[in-house]
Each structure stands twice: as structure tokens, then as C-alpha cells.
């Protein structure tokens, strides 16, 4: 039941700035994700919340109270690590009970809590095994259990799914959602995988080079990326970018773009919004097919169009081949426009 506040938070290693003036509030019970490429500072934020790394300046608050100076063990947080960080010399039971035993919870209560958590996570048959005797997914669940058992105020998760194989990762996503519904605890999640961030979160925060680039519900960030970084990072395959001046002579777009006539800009269109058709129609543009990639239900086509390489989507049936001409449309309402120099969204 905790609201987390970041107030002008800065972190420097030696002279390099890792986090630069972060201001943000994470709501009570929210599932909040920091997402960004590696080195963007997201893990540093998590470690500062955990108390594992010092703050250079600024403040982190839980429910309005600064937590600066509190050792990690007194912050009432729990953390799940990428490598799970299970204690290799303890059995599953001992691992689960460890946070309670450090806090001197009586043995009987400890026992009861362990049984409860183990049942919840389907770990009961494995209680006397050592971590090395478990599968990846089972280890992951032990790590979650060890975090849950104490009923912490805040949950921190540092790329908890990235050591799992693709299939298991999707399963665990669902599991995480379920757990968050059952234990609605404020959760900070860190990942470099934008799809995972979108699937799990109430809100996501995009980080790049230590700065917050955009923050909001996943659909909102997807629908209206605030800047070029956001637009390029969220969505798969990534958005096509086309330099603005090229578009001015397209009659059906000219009217929308007219007001930026004297401004250099970049237009973005998601591959899923670019409709490719076999034949020429009204308002279609044409390009040379460079490359085809099929994933089953969709086929992605890379086209060369006026010196740009752009990607678009067609149905499962491949209607075209390399070096042929393909026709496509750009629905004006799906177009995103960004200022070329600042990268900020125009509309």
C-alpha cells in the first residue's frame, strides 16, 4: 500500500551522469515498468529504490517519507533478480523461509507461510530440493515466492523473465499478472523488452540515456509516441521514418502537412499501418520490393521508396516477389509527425 515518489533524482558514477533529474510518482498498487535499451539507467533506479546503490542527489519517497539512509532490509521491499539469486546452499524451503528467519519470525509461523506460498506457486513437491535440482521455471517461481512471502510494501523486479526460454516467458507473464491481481502491491518492473512491458504494465516509463522520454499507459505510448525515441522503441517491427520534405508533393497528405511546410520534420508510420496491395488504386504509392519475410499469419515486405527503406504488412498470402513493384497506402490518420531537430512530436 505504497506510493513511490522520485524527486529530482540524480545518479552519477564518477563524472558520468546515469540518471538525470528524474521526477515521477508511482501510484499505490500500480504495476509500473521502466523500459529502455541496456545502459539507459533502469536497473540503477531499481537499485536506488532497493537501497543497494546510493543516491547522488534528490530523493526517493515511500508515501511521502524519504527512505534515504534506510538499509535495504528495513525498506520493506522484495526483489526478484534476473538470475533469481536463489541461495544455492539452501533448499527451496529454506530459501522461501529465509526473509522470515532473518526477521526472527517464529518457526511455526514460518512453516505455515512457506506451505501457503508453496501451494500458491505449485512448489509443494519441491520443498526439500536444492535450487540446482530445479528447472528454470521452477527457480523463477521460488524467487517469486521468496519475494512474496514477506508481504512487502513494494515489489521490485529486475528483468525477471529474461533467463527463460520464449515459451516459458509468455507463461510466466500471465503468472505475474495473476499474482499482481492476488497481491495488489506496488510493483516496479524493469525490462529491455518493450513487448513484455506493454503486456504487463499499468503504466510504462521509457528511459533513454538516463532521462525519462515518455510515461503513460502502454496503449497511449503506442498510439501517440511523444518523440522519435519513443516511436522507434515501442512497437515491433519498429516504425518507419521518412524525411518530411519528400511528402509535400503527395496530394492526399499535402493538406495535413501544409502547416509544417517551412519546418524540417520526420514522418513516422507503423509497418502495421502501411497497407500493401497488389494493384494500383487511387492514392496508392509504388515501391520496389527488396525483401519478404513471412511469420505465418502475416508477411512483412521491405520496399524501396524514393530512397527510403520502409516496411509494410500484407496477409498470409504472398502476392509479390523480389524486385517487383508493390503498391501501398499511407492512411493520413495513422501518420505521426516529429520535429526533425528536437525529435518531439508535432501531432
Partner 1 sequence: MKRLVFAALLMLVSLYCLGPFLWQGLTSLKTAADLTRLPPLLPHPPTLEHYRSIFAGHPLLRIIANSFIVATASTVLALSIGSLAAFALAKLPVPGKGAVLLLVLSTSMFPPIATVSPLYLLIRAAGLRDSPVSLILTYTSFTLPLTLWVLTHFFRNIPDELYRAARIDGCTPWQSFTRIMLPLAAPGIFATAILVFIFSWNEFLFALTFTSTTASRTIPVGIALFPGLHEIPWGEIAAASVVVTLPLLFLVFFFQRRIIEGLTAGAVKG
Partner 2 sequence: MTHRKGKEGAFLFLAPALLILAGITLYPLLHVFRLSLHRRLLIFDISRFVGPENYLYLLGDTRFRNALGNTIYFTVLSVLLELLFGLAIALLLNRHFRGKGLMRTIILIPWAIPTVVSARMWEWLYNPDFGLLNHLLGFRINWLGSPFLALNAAVAMDVWKTTPFVALLLTAGLQTIPRDLYGAARIDGAGPWTLFRKITLPLLMPVILVVLLFRTLDAFRVFDAVYVLTGGGPANSTETLSIYAYKILFQTLQFGYGSAISVMVFLCVGLFTLLFIPLLRRRKV
DSSP codes joined into one string, 103-121: TT--HHHHHHHHHHHHHHT
Contacting residue, 146, 192, 336, 345, with partner 1 by CB under 8 A: 146
Among 173, 175, 180, 210, CA closest to 195 = 173
Residue 327 CA to residue 284 CA, distance in Å, equals 6
In angstroms, give the least distance from the CB of 53 to partner 2.
8
Residue 204 CA to residue 31 CA, distance in Å, equals 9
57 binds, among partner 2, partner 1, none (CB under 5 to 8 A by kind): partner 2
Q: Would you call 214 helix, strand, or coil by DSSP?
A: strand
Contacting residue, 14, 89, 181, 281, with partner 1 by CB under 8 A: 89
Subset of 9-48 contacting partner 1 (CB under 8 A): 47
| Binding-site ranges for partner 2 (CB under 8 A) | 51, 54-55, 57, 68-71
In angstroms, give the least distance from the CB of 45 to partner 2.
15
Torsion sign across C-alpha atoms 214, 313, 267, 323? positive
In angstroms, give the least distance from the CB of 268 to partner 1.
38
Contacting residue, 1, 66, 87, 136, with partner 1 by CB under 8 A: 87
The region of 82-90, 106-114, 230-238, 301-309 touching partner 1 under the rule CB under 8 A is 82-90
290 binds, among partner 2, partner 1, none (CB under 5 to 8 A by kind): none
Count of residues in contact with partner 1, rule CB under 8 A: 25
Residue 25 CA to residue 158 CA, distance in Å, equals 19
Contacting residue, 29, 37, 98, 168, with partner 1 by CB under 8 A: 98
SS3 content of the chain, % helix, strand, coil (to 5): 35, 30, 35
Residue 136 CA to residue 294 CA, distance in Å, equals 31
Cα first-last separation, the chain: 37
Are 304 and 240 within 8 A, CB to CB?
Answer: no
Cell of 119: 501451494
Nearer to partner 2, 76 or 94 (CB): 76
Are 210 and 41 within 8 A, CB to CB?
Answer: yes
Cell of 55: 543516491
Contacting residue, 45, 67, 77, 247, with partner 1 by CB under 8 A: 77
Q: Is there binding between residue 142 and partner 1 (CB under 8 A)?
A: no
Q: Is there binding between residue 83 and partner 1 (CB under 8 A)?
A: yes
Nearer to partner 2, 57 or 236 (CB): 57
Q: Which residues bind partner 1 (CB under 8 A)?
A: 47, 50-52, 71-74, 77-79, 81-83, 85, 87-89, 98-99, 102-103, 146, 150, 156
Amino acid at each position: 500500500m505504497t506510493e513511490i515518489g522520485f524527486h529530482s533524482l540524480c545518479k552519477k558514477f564518477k563524472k558520468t551522469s546515469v540518471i538525470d533529474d528524474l521526477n515521477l510518482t508511482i501510484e499505490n498498487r500500480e504495476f509500473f515498468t521502466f523500459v529502455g535499451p541496456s545502459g539507459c539507467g533502469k536497473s540503477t533506479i531499481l537499485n536506488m529504490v532497493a537501497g543497494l546503490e546510493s543516491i547522488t542527489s534528490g530523493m526517493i519517497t515511500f508515501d511521502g517519507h524519504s527512505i534515504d539512509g534506510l538499509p535495504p532490509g528495513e525498506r520493506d521491499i522484495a526483489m526478484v533478480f534476473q538470475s533469481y539469486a536463489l541461495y544455492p546452499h539452501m533448499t527451496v524451503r529454506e530459501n522461501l523461509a529465509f526473509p522470515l528467519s532473518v526477521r526472527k519470525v517464529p518457526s511455526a509461523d514460518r512453516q505455515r507461510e512457506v506451505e501457503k506460498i508453496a501451494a500458491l506457486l505449485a512448489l509443494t513437491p519441491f520443498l526439500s530440493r536444492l535450487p540446482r535440482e530445479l528447472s528454470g521455471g521452477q527457480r523463477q517461481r521460488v524467487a517469486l515466492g521468496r519475494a512474496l512471502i514477506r508481504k512487502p510494501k513494494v515489489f521490485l523486479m529486475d528483468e525477471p523473465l529474461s533467463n527463460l526460454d520464449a515459451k516459458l516467458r509468455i507463461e510466466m507473464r500471465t503468472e505475474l499478472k495473476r499474482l499482481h491481481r492476488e497481491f495488489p502491491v506496488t510493483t516496479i518492473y524493469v525490462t529491455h523488452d518493450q513487448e513484455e512491458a506493454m503486456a504487463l504494465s499499468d503504466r510504462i516509463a521509457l528511459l533513454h540515456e538516463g532521462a525519462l522520454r515518455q510515461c503513460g499507459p502502454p496503449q497511449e505510448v503506442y498510439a501517440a509516441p511523444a518523440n522519435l525515441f519513443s516511436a522507434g522503441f515501442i512497437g515491433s517491427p519498429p516504425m518507419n521514418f521518412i524525411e518530411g520534405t519528400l511528402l509535400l508533393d503527395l496530394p492526399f497528405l499535402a493538406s495535413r502537412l501544409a502547416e509544417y511546410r517551412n519546418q524540417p520534420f520526420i514522418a513516422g508510420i507503423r509497418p502495421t499501418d502501411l497497407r500493401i496491395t497488389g494493384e494500383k488504386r487511387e492514392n496508392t504509392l509504388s515501391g520496389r520490393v527488396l525483401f519478404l519475410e513471412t511469420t505465418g499469419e502475416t508477411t512483412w515486405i521491405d520496399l524501396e521508396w524514393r530512397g527510403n527503406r520502409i516496411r509494410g504488412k500484407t496477409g498470409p498470402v504472398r502476392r509479390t516477389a523480389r524486385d517487383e513493384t508493390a503498391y501501398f497506402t499511407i492512411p493520413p490518420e495513422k501518420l505521426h509527425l516529429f520535429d526533425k531537430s528536437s525529435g518531439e512530436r508535432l501531432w
